[in-house]
Structure 1
Amino acid sequence: MKILSALCACASLMLSVSAMAEVVVVVHPSNGVTMDSGDISRIYLGKLKSFPGGGPVVPLDLKEGSSTRAAFVDKVLGKSESQLKAYWSKLVFSGQGQPPKSVDDAEMLSLVASNPNMIGFVDAANVNDTVKVIARF
Structure 2
Amino acid sequence: MRAVGSKFFLICHCVVAVAGLTMKSVRAEVAVVVSSNSSLANLTPSEVTEIFLRSSAELPSGRTLVPVDQMEGSGIRNEFYEKVARKNATQLRAYWARRVFTGKGEPPRELPDANAVKRWVASNPYAVGYIDLAQADSTVKIVLMLR
Using structure 2 for the length normalisation, give the TM-score. 0.87
Which of 102, 115, 140 matches 1:106? 115
Correspondent of 2:32 among 22, 25, 32? 25
How many Å separate the matches in 2 of 1:119 and 1:45? 13
Aligned to 2:4: none
In the alignment, structure 1 segments of 5+ residues that lack a partner are none
Task: State the structure with more CA Rg.
Answer: 2
Match of 2:94 among 74, 79, 86: 86
Question: RMSD between aligned alpha carbons?
Answer: 1.3
Count of aligned pairs: 137
Q: Which amino acid aligns with 1:74?
A: E
Counting aligned pairs with the same residue, the percent is 33
* Structure 2: stretches of 5+ with no match in the other structure: 1-7
Q: Does 1:70 align with 2:78?
A: yes
- What is the TM-score when the length of structure 1 is the normalising length? 0.93
Q: Is 1:35–1:52's contact at 8 Å kept on the other side of the alignment?
A: no
Contact 2:81 2:88 in 1 (8 A): yes
Q: 1:52 to 1:18 in 2, by over 3 A?
A: farther
Q: Aligned partners of 1:28, 1:61: CA distance in 2, in Å?
A: 15
Please list the CA deviations of residues 45-77 of structure 1 after superposition, one character each: whole Å capped at 9, or x if unmatched.
Answer: 111122332122110011122111111111111
State the 4+ residue runs in structure 1 displaced beyond 3 angstroms: none
